[in-house]
Structure 1
Amino acid sequence: MIQEFQQHIKCKLPFLEKGKCLLTISGGIDSVVLAYLCKSSQLHFSLAHCNFNLRGEESDADEVFIKQLAEQLEVEVFTQSFQTELYAKDHQLSTQLAARELRYRWFYELAEEKAFDYILTAHHVNDSLETYLINTTRGTGLNGLTGIPEVNGKIVRPLLSFSREQIQQYAQEHEIEWREDSSNASDKYFRNKIRHHIIPQLTEENSNLLQSFQQTQQNLQDAANLLEDYTTILFSRLVEEINGKYFLNVHDLKQTPHTKAVLFQLLNSFGFTEWNDVYQLLEAQTGKQVFSKTHRLVRDREVLILDEFLKNSEEIIAIEKEQTTIEWEDKKISVENVKEMQEFSQNIAYLPAQKIKYPLILRKWKAGDRFQPFGMKGKKKLSDFLKDEKLSPLEKENTWVLISDKKIAWVVGHRTDERFKIEPNTTTILKLNLTYEK
């Protein structure tokens, strides 16, 4: 197996030969064999072990074993202890999900702190088959059927083309010791049920099950790559990006064959799960919204607008008299004193310096806000003003106001207040210039 492993590294993962690797190790046969293979292949690596404190003395013994193994292999070792059950309870997670979240967060933090290029895990083809069956059982798309990726960012899985049987045979031939996790024998977890019962039955039907799965997996990956290329072409034709937001033309989407599938391909990387709701936006009225955990899709006239979802900001920015620039989000206001008004635009406001009371307050508009739009005699609800301006729902939400002495002086980027207009006796003018980061 060592020759096959080294050939695989050379042909498929050559970057590991020059990189600094963090090998995640539980003490089980898979990760221990990977450590020996990496050592024999002269890769530059350290070990990282998590003690989840789930099996009492057995967990502590695993940690001791890993430290002894590190001495034997003459490599650096990092260990971390977690109160997994408490974390799971506090975050309302299953024990398995809590352990996964804890370990991967620590691995990435350690890789960042110690400048590791790659994080190695010991997943093999049997693990990929189990994941395929789990995803099939629970329902999934094409990506869920392609198995575990060999390379995913910093995560690299050098054993993914090898089987559990090959790993066991290598360990026996080289008299390698490892730790048995007693929980692996339990059918408490769904993965173990698949491992202990379903896969053996499938193997009885097809003795070449793993080889057949690998071929199927490659076929599915080829199809996924083809679909990704097609999606890239569609994205460039159907989606326009402006200032970090994506605009999808509803008419063009409806004219595209397999519209529902196209929407899924265009948007599935943004975390949406309620696909029927997303699809119904094509027939919805302006203002209808669908949310994922990270993004929001809004129907606005003849387009769908996709942007990153941020909860309504409670941020309040105080501006002192001495400040010449104010920066927040993707915006910037430059402040200067001038003698007369020169250039004009919605992004420039001129205010009489003698009427300004500091600190000025900059915040998002809220329901109930009123101001007297420049050129008008009476006050108006800001919500009505924004409606009259025909702003999209996203533009409305991202509207800020500048306040002096509890009065709105400027609806930023739109209109100043009549009460703060420049008059003949104004001697000093405050010029505010709004710009956006590109």
Structure 2
Amino acid sequence: ALDRYAREQGLVWREDASNNDRSYLRNALRHELLPLLKRHFGPDYLHNFQKSFSDIVQAESKLQEKYLPLFRSMIRQEEGRSAVKIEPYLQLDRFESRLFWNYCFSYVYPLSFQVSGTFLQSFGKFLKHAATGRSFSIASRLKILKNREEFFFDDKSGKIPPGVKLYPGHIVAWGRFHLGLSEVADVTPEMNDKGNEEYICGDMLDMPLLVRGWQRGDRFMPLGMKRFKKVSDFFIDRKVDRLTKKEIPLVLSGEEIVWLAGLRLDERFKVTPECTRVYKLEIMKEV
């Protein structure tokens, strides 16, 4: 077609010498595969293939529409993550499971993502036999965490953000949180009822404070206790899953934990009548 157009326009046609080199995939397809398809399926094979593909796409779309209400009812959003009940998922047959994953991946990947039978089998075994807290990797940036009766999608790198310094009168961002520190003139018992803020004795604080994530071996003295407790054990007692614990900010004075933000103050930094300086730690907002 192109060479005919060139002749009609009075143009000199030049053939690329590599066009006949069948070591190139494009040439092998053009010279070997396409003539074979034409011989077996007729001259209109491309049109017929396109029609069949269009029918498949429409059928897939109608199937997705039928199952969308079910899939949406199985998934709930929690703090930027998606959680799925395990029991309803295990009741899906192989075909429905494949549609479910296509539905889920369509929100993560811009192109169609087809799951294999091996994946479905491996993931089913994971849900049935893995202990709570275990994770199942799908791709380099996507993990699934089993958490009792549910599993969570986590489309993050899983890395804990680096620590940031917190000065009085300032607000800092750490992960999806913004935390503030301010000095107050007085504090009353009823002011300590909000989970997103704590009042601390500033007499022993080593400024600036440090906001960082959980680290293996961290320990503190939970408010109301007289002995130390591992932060990891505290998270287990509070049923904090492995992904969430990486998102919780810890506020430190020097090497000592002052506050597990939003969860528990350290006994050593509570406000007493003897305190001469009082500060308010506050989670300003979550993003």
Q: TM-score, normalised by structure 1?
A: 0.56
What is the match of residue 91 of structure 2?
255
Distance 2:149 2:7 in 1: 66
| CA displacement at 1:237 relative to structure 2 | 1.2
1:242-391 maps to which residues of 2 (within 5 A)? 242-258=78-94, 259-269=96-106, 270=108, 274-283=119-128, 284-291=130-137, 292-313=139-160, 315-323=162-170, 325-338=171-184, 339-341=186-188, 342-391=191-240
Change (3 A) 1:198 1:420: same
User: How far has the Cα of 1:211 moved from its partner?
Assistant: 1.3
Does residue 237 of structure 1 match 2:86?
Answer: no
Equivalent-residue separation in structure 1 for 2:8 and 2:60 (angstroms): 39
Per-residue deviation at 1:316? 1.4
CA distance in 2, matches of 1:255, 1:245: 23
Q: Normalized per residue, which structure has more helix?
A: 1
Distance in 1 between the 2:86 and 2:19 partners? 51
SS of 1:387's equivalent?
A: helix
Which of 15, 19, 22 matches 1:187?
Answer: 22
In structure 2, the CA distance between the partners of 1:168 and 1:408, relative to structure 1 (3 Å rule), is farther
Cα pair 2:214 2:249 within 8 Å, conserved = yes
- Tell me by how many angstroms 1:357 deviates: 1.4
Counterpart-to-counterpart distance in 1, 2:192 and 2:19: 73
Question: Do the aligned partners of residues 252 and 173 (structure 1) sit closer, same or farther apart at CA in structure 2, a change above 3 Å counting?
Answer: farther
* Partner amino acid, structure 2, of 1:315: P
C-alpha separation between the residues in 2 aligned to 1:178 and 1:380? 82
Measured in 1, the distance between the counterparts of 2:4 and 2:60 equals: 34
Counterparts of 2:282 and 2:15 in 1: how far apart (Å)? 67
Partner of 1:202: 37
Letter in 2 for 1:187: R
How far has the Cα of 1:436 moved from its partner?
4.1
Instruction: Pick 1 or 2: higher relative contact order, CA cutoff 8 A, min separation 6.
Output: 2
Contact 1:402–1:410 (Cα < 8 Å) also in 2: yes
Partner Cα separation in structure 2 for residue 216 and residue 235 of structure 1: 27
Provide the aligned C-alpha RMSD in A. 2.6
Q: Are the structure 2 counterparts of residues 216 and 417 from structure 1 closer, same or farther at C-alpha, using a change threshold of 3 Å?
A: same
Match of 1:223 in 2: 59
Displacement, 1:391? 1.0
1:37 corresponding residue in structure 2: none
Amino acid at match of 1:251: E
CA positional deviation for 1:174: 4.4
SS at structure 2 position matched to 1:217: helix
CA contact (8 A) 2:174 2:211 kept: no
Further displaced range: 336-345 or 358-367: 336-345
Q: Indicate if the aligned counterparts of 2:85 and 2:150 stay in contact, CA closer than 8 A.
A: yes
CA distance, structure 2, for counterparts of residue 221 and residue 171 of structure 1 = 38
| C-alpha distance in structure 1 between counterparts of 2:86 and 2:10, whole Å | 64
Cα distance change, pair 335–254 in 1 and its aligned pair in 2 (3 A): same
Q: For residues 282-318 of structure 1, what are the alpha-carbon distances to aligned partners after superposition, in whole Å with 9 as ceiling and x for unaligned? A: 3132122122122211111001101212142251111
Matched, 1:412 2:247: no
1:44 corresponds to: none
Please tell me whether the aligned partners of residues 174 and 249 of structure 2 are also in contact (alpha carbons under 8 angstroms). Answer: no
Displacement of 1:234: 3.1
| Cα gap change, 1:191 to 1:253, in 2 (>3 Å) | farther
Count of residues paired in the alignment? 272
**Do the aligned partners of residues 233 and 359 (structure 1) sit closer, same or farther apart at CA in structure 2, a change above 3 Å counting?**
same
8 Å CA contact 2:183–2:280 kept in 1: the answer is: yes
CA distance in 2, matches of 1:209, 1:277: 39
Aligned-pair identity in percent equals 27
The offset of 1:221, in angstroms, is 1.9
Contact 1:260–1:279, Cα closer than 8 Å, also in 2: no
CA distance in 2, matches of 1:193, 1:203: 15
TM superposition shift of 1:228: 3.6
SS in 1 for 2:251: strand
Runs of at least 5 residues in structure 1 that lack an aligned partner in the other structure: 1-164
